[in-house]
Amino acid sequence: MKKKYYLTMIAAIMSVGLSMAQAQNPECMTNLSIYAEHAKVKNYDAAYEPWKMVYESCPDINKANFSYGEKILAHKIKNSTGAQKDGFVQDLMALYDNSLKYFPGKFTKAGVAIDKALLSYDEKMASDDQLYAMLDKAFKEDRANFKNPKALYLYFSSLVDLHAAGKKDLQEVFDVYDDVTEKVEEENKKLTDDLQKLLEKEDAGTALTSKEQKRKTVFETNSESYGKIASSIDSKLGALADCGNLIPLYEKSYEAKKGDVNWVKRAVGRMFSKECTDDPLFSKMVEIQAQLDPSADVYVYLGTLKSKNGNNNGAIADFNKAVELETDSYRKSNILYKIATTVRRGSKSQARNYALKAIEANPSNGKAYLLIANLYASSANDCGSTPFEKRAIYWKAADMARKAGRVDPSLGGRASQSASSYADRAPTKEMIFSSGMAGKTVSFSCWVGGSVQVPNL
């Protein structure tokens, strides 16, 4: 034990001594100051030579060698051609590797692998096989730090292209799709949870500090990025996940995989989301999942089957059982949202009730707000005795859609588009003027209830 302690102390002293020696190197310190000042104002050409001297002579003197070095080399790559450009590309590749070598506490395996893969992609240096291999290895070895939205998309996109070329099977496409979408949801959940705390403070009438306002902007921007990537991933998957592909694939794998609880859960979940619930295989798979993992989701699926067969009371009982079983508020919210989408065909008011419960469980559930907005908009003809009153419901729908984008910026595009569409269908300024309703209140006697205030002209 003492020997191990002394060896550790010696190593620490040597490390400190090396750093102090470098720190005392006047040339390194001078050039570090010079290139940092140039880099701060984005004068990367002037920063290059002093940075190169410090990077090569004193690589571990400061993390700036790598953070600024990346920007300096990226600038050089952008503004050079031929062999010179290739040299800068290789220098940047080496810098990524060295960042992990000299500052392992500041950089991650996944982060470095992603940087190298994206550089390879941008410079057209790697095939789909190579890109997928790099990103697949990084995702599986360091999933926690695999957060880059562009890399998540490229990881999945390169696999789909390999499948199209006959090099990867469809099951692997679905497996990676599940992994990537789960990761996107995980990261967005962290962002919206943090954002919700700031929104609650705003709603309580307390102004955010400048630091909090900056954090809010970061949360919104990053969440929006994940939303765009999620949409792109779904588009890339496209028709591959249609029932015509899903059912034959699962029928083929059923006997070999029916004991694999993870495979069964993902298969059932995908058939449910793609509305392949009429096929007998769905019922059979739900029964298998009920045996392997009698979780809350199972009761959602059982309730859906009963609802399709006209057993509404049985369906509601199963749905409520699903809610009772789930203890995690985030998952409970998602289950309540699933139930709301299922019962909407039979009862819009019941669908809204479940959507509101979903929001209560997770205030960041923007999908629930969008669903309520759609329920309101689809009831226009039932909520008013005059054309003006019927169209007034769209103001209420637009307001709900805006809330969806506010609590979950990853839905910002959909929410904004929906809100604009609903607002366009609301009474025009001319209608407001001719009706004499400006500033007045329109109440709804239909299932929607409540009221809206007509805008002043």
Q: Residue range 15-27: average pLDDT? A: 55
Task: Using the predicted structure, report yes or no on whether residue 7 has a pLDDT greater than 60.
Answer: no
Return the closest-CA partner of residue 350 out of 380, 322, 318, 312: 312
Tell me the whole-structure pTM to 2 decimals.
0.85
Q: String of b and e for 3-17 (b: at least 16 CB within 10 Å)?
A: eeeeeeeeeeeeeee
| Residue-level pLDDT at 377 | 96
Residue 24 has pLDDT above 70, yes or no: no
Q: Which of 262, 263, 261 is nearest to 252 (CA)?
A: 263
Q: What is the mean pLDDT of residues 85-94?
A: 97
Domain ranges for the chain, please list them. 256-293, 294-453
Beta-bridged to residue 441, according to DSSP, are 453
pLDDT given for residue 342 in this prediction: 87
Segment 344-356, tens digit of pLDDT: 988 999 999 999 9
**pLDDT tens-digit profile of 174-224?**
999 999 999 999 999 999 999 999 999 999 999 999 999 999 999 999 999
- pLDDT above 50 for 9: no
Of all residues in the chain, what percent carry a pLDDT higher than 70?
95
Average model confidence (pLDDT) across the chain: 92
Residue 14: predicted pLDDT: 36
CA distance 190 to 208: 20
**pLDDT at 74 exceeding the cut of 80:** yes
CA distances from 314 to 18, 128, 288, 308, 380 (A): 73, 49, 20, 11, 31
Question: One-letter amino acid identity for 418?
Answer: S
* pLDDT over 70 at 401, yes or no: yes
CATH of domain 294-453: 1.25.40.10
Confidence class of residue 334 from pLDDT cuts 50, 70 and 90? very high
